[in-house]
Structure 1
Amino acid sequence: MKLVSWNVQWGRDASGVVDLARTVREARRLADFDILCLQEVTRGFHALPGGPSDDQFAELAALLPGFTVIEAIGADLGVDPGADLSTASRTGPTPRRQFGNALATRLPVAQIFRHLLPWPADPAAPSMQRVALEAVIDVSGVTSSGGALRVLVTHLEFYSEHQRLAQIDALRQLQQEAAAHAAHPAPAENAEGPFARTARPVSAIVCGDFNSAFDSAAHARMLEPLAGSPAFIDAWTTLHPGATPPPTAGIYDTEQWSDGPLACDFVFVTEDLRARLKRCEIDGATQASDHQPIVLELD
């Protein structure tokens, strides 16, 4: 099973040109992926630099035939105050500006969860609502957890460490919650209704842009032991023992990253998947975003 995780900055490359189709082509060049986890996908944010399309989630679905494309919105805002609504009001609902994550997969999807992450007040820093998108995916033959695996894609706060640490704690609590459901599932009320059986697999991949340096408190906290659940391990450092990961942001876009390159994108997996890790690589060549993609392969 192959997974690509990438902050694509709405398809905007290091020179400022937006082309989401190119982003998908670059991801396909890296791997014949089964799961594609993207951060910074937009809808209604045409005013962002480079002018993304009005609905990038729909654009992804068109670019990936045969894939299920799932969205999770973090920031969900009203229309730009300066927009002309005279036509929109006559033709349909008032448009919204939405910013979040996407997961595309060609594997069967059993369950989907959209977790709004904590957003504690921090008046010293700009911030936005963040989200973690979780999909329970059938990966029969890949894991030992009943043929299913939980994949979460997220994007943590950039400016506020206080908020990032709260969001890390929430991701860890979600893992403990899933482990508890796996150990003590509630019975289904019936086969047709929404009160389905609550069992979820313990095994999980959590990937995305953590906006936290490799040696940061947030990265260290993600790896701390978890009561009632396997702990998380960093997939890249597990497969490259003793090495420091190369930068994942600011290599080519030196304007946005004026302080220099930074390793801040990670793939964490639960400890029970350690033996199945085959490959985890950070591509340093592509300039299709201000971030570099990560390729994970499970044997």
Structure 2
Amino acid sequence: MRVVSWNIHWGCGKDGRIRIHAIIDVLRKLNPDVICLQEVAANHPELEGSASASQFKQLAGAFGGYHMIEQAPSEIYRNNLPRQFGNILLSKYRITQAQRHVLPWPVDTAHPAGMPRGMIETVLEAPGGKLRVLTTHLEYYSPVQRAAQVRRIRELHQEACTRAAVYQPEPALDPPFQLGFRPGSAIYCGDFNLLPDSSDYQDLLAPPLPGASRLLDAWAVRHGDMARAPTAGLHGFKWPDKPDCYDYFFVTEDLAPRIADMNVQSETSASDHQPIVLDLA
């Protein structure tokens, strides 16, 4: 099972031009079973390169054999036209449930601007049984908002694990209640906008809340103390000042023995982030 996560920077390369086809080409070469993308845009001509097309539709069309879940936490209307910015999850495997979580956005007077953030959660019929795959893009500018979002992810993880421990199907209920099993086993991925030596990173991987399974950094499981490959800061982009790691896969402890590889694809300059790839045996 191969999962790719990538902040695609609305397809804007280092030359300031938008080439969604370059994003699609990289993804097709990686041949993932599940694709998790952040910074997907629609009807945003003011973004660098003019992201006026619906990239949600372009990506859905390019990967027609996949099932798609989209979420645009930032949705602004101009002349009744939605300007969207958010996340996509595409899966070759059957999706049995999907939830679109809205993450906290507390007021931070030091950083009054910003945007709403969200997280897509899916339950997949994957090899080895059902598991949850979740993708998100956390706050960059406001430490207050990012810390609140990390806390909420931990709470949602606890909720899923404790519900999985007591869930029993009830066929007599009306269909909207018959959601099926939502397992504790999970892969969390995306642009978390935190560094490996940050307090937010430590908080996310802190001892789990009661009833929750432990989360592990897939890079550390696979590579131990080996220096991290940077996920941003390559190829001459304006941001960040130096190469570093902002993008992650976190997995529940039961999935750790299945990690066959976790790597960063550093060659492409189609985005200011690099695709990260997780392979499970």
TM-score (norm 2): 0.95
Matched, 1:135 2:122: yes
Q: Which one-letter code corresponds to 1:27 in the other structure?
A: L
Q: Report the more deviating stretch, 186-195 or 263-272.
A: 186-195
Matched, 1:114 2:97: no
Measure the CA separation in 2 of the matches of 1:20 and 1:5: 16
Q: Which one-letter code corresponds to 1:74 in the other structure?
A: P
The Cα shift of 1:186 comes to 5.2
Secondary structure of residue in 2 paired with 1:6: strand
Matched, 1:155 2:137: yes
1:219-298 counterparts in 2 under 5 A? Answer: 219-226=201-208, 227-257=210-240, 259-298=241-280
- 1:183 equivalent in structure 2: 165
Secondary structure of residue in 1 paired with 2:251: strand
Q: Which one-letter code corresponds to 2:127 in the other structure?
A: S
- 2:175 equivalent in structure 1: 193
Unaligned stretches of 5+ residues in structure 2:
none
- 1:101 equivalent in structure 2: 87
The Cα shift of 1:253 comes to 3.7
Q: Report the more deviating stretch, 160-169 or 186-195.
A: 186-195
Matched, 1:5 2:19: no
* 1:250–1:291 CA contact under 8 A, matched in 2: yes
* 1:233–1:268 CA contact under 8 A, matched in 2: yes
Superimposed CA distance per residue, residues 199-256 of structure 1 (whole angstroms, 9 cap, x where no aligned partner): 3111000000011111111111111111212111000111101123121111124323
The structure that has the greater radius of gyration is 1
Q: Which one-letter code corresponds to 1:167 in the other structure?
A: Q
Superimposed CA distance per residue, residues 233-291 of structure 1 (whole angstroms, 9 cap, x where no aligned partner): 0001111011231211111243232x222211111001110100101001111111000
Measure the CA separation in 2 of the matches of 1:170 and 1:248: 24
Deviation beyond 2 Å, 4+ runs, structure 1: 186-192
Q: Report the more deviating stretch, 47-56 or 200-209.
A: 47-56
Identity %: 41
Secondary structure of residue in 2 paired with 1:169: helix
Measure the CA separation in 1 of the matches of 2:219 and 2:94: 26
Secondary structure of residue in 1 paired with 2:116: coil
Distance 1:106 1:192, change over 3 A: farther
The Cα shift of 1:71 comes to 0.2
Unaligned stretches of 5+ residues in structure 1:
80-84, 86-93, 142-146
Secondary structure of residue in 2 paired with 1:13: coil
Measure the CA separation in 1 of the matches of 2:125 and 2:174: 20
Superimposed CA distance per residue, residues 158-192 of structure 1 (whole angstroms, 9 cap, x where no aligned partner): 10111111101111111110011101125435476
Measure the CA separation in 1 of the matches of 2:12 and 2:139: 20
Measure the CA separation in 1 of the matches of 2:108 and 2:244: 24
Structure number with higher strand proportion: 2
- 2:55 equivalent in structure 1: 56
The Cα shift of 1:198 comes to 5.3
Q: Which one-letter code corresponds to 2:117 in the other structure?
A: R
* 1:73–1:100 CA contact under 8 A, matched in 2: yes
Matched, 1:38 2:24: no
Measure the CA separation in 2 of the matches of 1:114 and 1:67: 18
User: RMSD in angstroms over aligned alpha carbons?
Assistant: 1.4
Q: Report the more deviating stretch, 43-52 or 113-122.
A: 43-52
